[in-house]
Amino acid sequence: MSNITIYHNPACGTSRNTLEMIRNSGNEPTIIYYLDTPPSRDDLIKLIKDMGITVRALLRKNVEPYEKLGLDEDTFADEQLIEFMLQNPILINRPIVVTPVGTRLCRPSEVVLDIIPEPQNSAFTKEDGEQIIDETGRRVK
Q: What is the CATH number of the domain that holds 103?
A: 3.40.30.10
pLDDT at position 45, please? 98
Cβ neighbours of residue 58 closer than 8 Å, sequence gap 6 or more:
47, 48, 51, 85, 92, 93, 105
Q: Of 12, 81, 97, 105, which is the active-site residue?
A: 12
pLDDT of 1 above 60: no
pTM of the model: 0.94
Q: Does residue 138 fall inside a structural domain?
A: no
Active site residue 12: yes
Q: Does residue 9 fall inside a structural domain?
A: yes
Q: Does residue 140 fall inside a structural domain?
A: no
When divided into structural domains, the chain yields a total of 1
